[in-house]
């Protein structure tokens, strides 16, 4: 179709578009670790024909673990649902492991590609008590987010996701960027590219604000009491 510009969301879509884009500029959004993933040369000087907006740095992996543990102090084990072929997920998992040792929390990594693998991973993990689930952001965990919440809740496992929409769907807690707001940021870069600016001259931008959401209905269902301090810090509280 030879478009004037392409907007790509997520690491998998950008990985497919990168070799196909040719001379067509690509503005990405919700992409983790674009430098480590080989999409751009650097954040300040992306080079090539691709630029855009990142979502999470590798250190967010450890932050998700810290927030979930703060919400559930009794948690001693955590299942990390990840897409093992995604470079950013490998870095998230290393960050989680680094933080886990100081809590202490046992980490169980589960590479998932479909619903069957998700169900099997949660079912196997739930055989032992005092567990929790971190669903790393990826199209696989997005498409199957309701399944993850349902399976985890049925096994009395608290969950943390990266986007607030999942708290509304029943996850115990979420911590991350406002996806809609970040998507709207792309309009400025698209406009500038259509007016002649080269993508290589537009630095990759990192998110500036994060939001915390807590679902107290889910907490009650799981028999948990969330600390007043954590609830007070939350941007969204579902009661």
Query: For residue 48, how many C-alpha atoms fall within 13 Å in the half-sphere facing its CB?
Result: 21
Tens of pLDDT along 41-80? 999 999 999 999 999 988 999 999 999 999 999 999 999 9
Tens of pLDDT along 85-99? 998 999 999 999 999
Query: For residue 81, how many C-alpha atoms fall within 13 Å in the half-sphere facing its CB?
Result: 36
**Across residues 156-162, what is the average pLDDT?**
97
Query: For residue 166, how many C-alpha atoms fall within 13 Å in the half-sphere facing its CB?
Result: 31
Q: If you write DSSP's letter for every residue of 72-95 in order, what string do you get?
A: -TT--EEEEEE-TT-HHHHHHHHH
Q: How confident is the model at residue 178 (pLDDT cuts 50, 70, 90)?
A: confident
The residue whose two tokens read 């739930």 is: 126
Model confidence at 172: pLDDT above 70: yes
């Amino acid at each position: 179709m030879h478009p004037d510009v392409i907007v790509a969301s997520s690491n998998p879509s950008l990985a497919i578009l990168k070799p196909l884009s040719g001379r067509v500029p690509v503005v990405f959004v919700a992409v983790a670790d674009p430098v480590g993933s080989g999409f751009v040369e650097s954040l300040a000087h992306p080079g090539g024909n691709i630029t855009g907006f990142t979502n999470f740095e590798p250190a967010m992996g450890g932050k998700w673990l810290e927030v979930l543990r703060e919400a559930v102090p009794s948690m001693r084990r955590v299942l990390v649902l990840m897409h093992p072929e995604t470079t950013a997920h490998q870095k998230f998992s290393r960050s989680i492991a680094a933080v886990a040792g100081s809590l202490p929390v046992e980490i169980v990594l589960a590479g998932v590609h479909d619903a069957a693998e998700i169900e099997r991973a949660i079912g196997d993990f739930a055989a032992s008590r005092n567990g929790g689930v971190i669903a790393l952001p990826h199209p696989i965990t997005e498409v199957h987010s309701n399944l993850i919440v349902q399976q985890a809740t049925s096994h009395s496992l608290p969950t943390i996701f990266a986007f607030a929409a999942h708290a509304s769907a029943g996850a115990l807690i979420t911590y991350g960027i406002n996806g809609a707001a970040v998507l709207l940021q792309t309009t400025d870069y698209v406009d500038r590219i259509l007016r002649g600016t080269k993508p290589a001259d537009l630095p990759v931008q990192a998110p500036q604000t994060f939001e915390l959401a807590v679902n107290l209905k889910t907490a009650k269902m799981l028999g948990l009491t969330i600390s007043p301090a954590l609830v007070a810090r939350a941007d969204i509280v579902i009661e």
